Structure 1
Amino acid sequence: MSAAAAMLFMSVPPPASAQPTAHMQPLTPKFSTAVAFDISPALRTLPVAKKYVADPSNLLEIRPERGPRAQSKGYKSGDKALQTFSPALAIAAPLLTFEGVSNEDNFNIFGFRVNPPDPNGEVGPNHYVEMINLVFAVYDKSGNKLLGPIDTGSLWSDFAVPDCTDPSGDPVVLYDQLADRWILSQFTTSGLSDPEKPFWNCVAVSTTGDPTGSYYRYAFETAHFQFFP
């Protein structure tokens, strides 16, 4: 009996906590070399984008879609945690607010709007740079517009990778406070319609701390389509 019990005990697998776990491979960065590089002219010398002139006969009034409205049936929630008053604001009001670029700028330049606009901005010592799908602009710290709005593809005008000159979207703007440099980037989308074409991550790094000046321009090839690379 004891031998049978011992054999039965040995046949039962150990609990899951005692099972050996697979060794997880640590995540490591991957490095790639830019396939194209040059230096852009100063952005402040770029021509002002021509305003799109729409045909009034083709304009449609677009009203916001609100959907069905919920009707109250007079029920009381009985939620004892329901607040009946608003506490005093604990955060001070901002020192300054101003209007940045918007989807209306897309319409003024391209004749259409983009949803979502993917607003993205960064603050430096003297400037604020904002990018959206598919334009960007530069402001001083008082909200005065110094540059733009310009379509994002203009940042890569006459670049060796033509796809970068297409304002594709998903822009990213960063300010490196240690190096005093601005970093602007966007992806490309032409590979979605042509499987023979690669995808690119187009990156521009300012040559100085002035975001309206010239930029080092790079193109990195990616194996697949990426959101906000």
Structure 2
Amino acid sequence: MNWKIGLFLTTLLALIGWATFPSGTTPSQMVAGRSSAGLPAQTGDPEPATPQDVLVQTAYATLSTAVRDLPPADLSELDPRLDREINPRLSLFTPLEVEVTEGLDPLLAIQAASHAPAAPNAFGTPLLNFEAQGYSFVQPPDTVGEVGLNHYIHMINGSGGTQMRIYNKSGVQIGSTIIVQTLGSGGCANGAGDPIVLYDHLANRWMISEFSGSTNALCVYVSQTADPTGSWYAYQFNTPNFPDYPKYSVWTDGYYATTNEDSGPTVYAFERAAMLTGAPADMVRLGAPALAGFGFQAFTPADLDGPAPPTNSPALFMRHRDDEVHNGRK
């Protein structure tokens, strides 16, 4: 567990200049607190975590039925609904009281002085262009896709959770569309969307995720083999707050995620080596201080798609900071 805590310290110290870990950190028990509509559950919501709190938890995997053997998703009766992407507990329309200094954007002068060639106005000809899943009446669809060595996975929000469809590299669909929650159990048997799919090229595996619709949890699945139509290791990582807007990354020493929570921006590290074998896997959660006058606080993790970095290179995260919105704070 020390590798993950040390890595968080190194990364966040380098990026945002702070990190504080309380002593005596122990695993925490966390409870459900949100309905499938994103509203507080009847049992009440847990108290928001204090920024900079560290939480450690172990999750145990179940092995799913092979995707190729799952029943196809019933798409005959689509349920139009609004799936808000922003945490409903945070006001979308809070005015920002900031002092804005009028003047030209200094980046314009830097760009003009660089004499860099103009970027092309269009992409080149696509190597392959094919129609994937259509409109599911869920807004927004949160469309995501990922290319692997031999497959392409396409995921969208559906009225019954995330819909997933697998293709070969020629664009031919393999098997049926499935609902991701059929891979999980417990709180993850009720998925609520916000899908993510990543190809872990270092291990030739797949990682997919959505959040739970019945509890505060991140549902994370890792393919048992390189074939995504086979079985998946299913993990439910409970969170103290609703883990809105999750974004994930693959790194050499872990899977990482960021969320936009009531307590502020949050970073998670998952024990990748254990998850690749279906073993019990640790999760470390670290909160960051919120910025004043700014409602949407999520970090963005850097995903590794190329060669492995030097040994012990820390995972990286980016954070939006605006010297106007944040009133000169850098």
Compute the TM-score of the two structures, normalised by the length of structure 1: 0.61
Q: Distance in 2 between matches of 1:122 and 1:164?
A: 22
> In structure 1, which of residues 136, 147, 153 is the aligned counterpart of residue 175 of structure 2?
147
Aligned to 2:284: none
Aligned to 1:118: 142
Q: Distance in 2 between matches of 1:53 and 1:122?
A: 27
Matched position secondary structure for 1:173: strand
Distance 1:27 1:169, change over 3 A: farther
> In structure 1, which of residues 200, 217, 221 is the aligned counterpart of residue 234 of structure 2?
217
Matched position secondary structure for 1:33: strand
> In structure 2, which of residues 62, 68, 90 is the aligned counterpart of residue 44 of structure 1?
68
- 1:100 equivalent to 2:128? Answer no
Contact 2:217 2:243 in 1 (8 A): no
Distance 1:117 1:207, change over 3 A: same
Q: How far did 1:26 drift?
A: 3.0
Aligned to 1:25: 18
Alignment of 1:38-187 (within 5 A): 38-52=62-76, 91-103=123-135, 106=136, 113-133=137-157, 134-156=162-184, 159=185, 161=186, 163-187=187-211
Distance 1:146 1:27, change over 3 A: farther
- Superimposed CA distance per residue, residues 156-212 of structure 1 (whole angstroms, 9 cap, x where no aligned partner): 2xx2x1x21123010110000011110011102334xxxxxxx01111000110011
Q: Distance in 2 between matches of 1:150 and 1:42?
A: 11
Aligned to 1:227: 244
Aligned residues: 157
Matched position secondary structure for 1:190: coil
Matched letter for residue 184 of structure 1: I
Q: Distance in 1 between matches of 2:192 and 2:156?
A: 11
> In structure 2, which of residues 212, 221, 227 is the aligned counterpart of residue 204 of structure 1?
221
**Structure 1: gaps spanning 5 or more residues:** 1-22, 55-86, 107-112, 192-198
Aligned to 2:299: none
Q: Percent sequence identity over matched residues? A: 40
Matched letter for residue 155 of structure 1: L
Matched letter for residue 153 of structure 2: V
Write out the 4+ residue segments of structure 1 that deviate beyond 4 Å after TM superposition: 27-31, 87-90
Distance 1:129 1:211, change over 3 A: same
Aligned to 1:77: none
Compute the TM-score of the two structures, normalised by the length of structure 2: 0.43
- Larger radius of gyration between Structure 1 and Structure 2: 1
Matched position secondary structure for 2:226: coil
Q: Distance in 2 between matches of 1:216 and 1:31?
A: 23
Matched position secondary structure for 2:132: coil
Distance 1:26 1:150, change over 3 A: same
Distance 1:90 1:53, change over 3 A: closer
Distance 1:182 1:27, change over 3 A: farther
Contact 1:32 1:220 in 2 (8 A): no
CA-based RMSD of the aligned residues comes to: 2.8
- Superimposed CA distance per residue, residues 145-164 of structure 1 (whole angstroms, 9 cap, x where no aligned partner): 003321221122xx2x1x21
Matched letter for residue 124 of structure 1: G
Matched position secondary structure for 2:57: coil
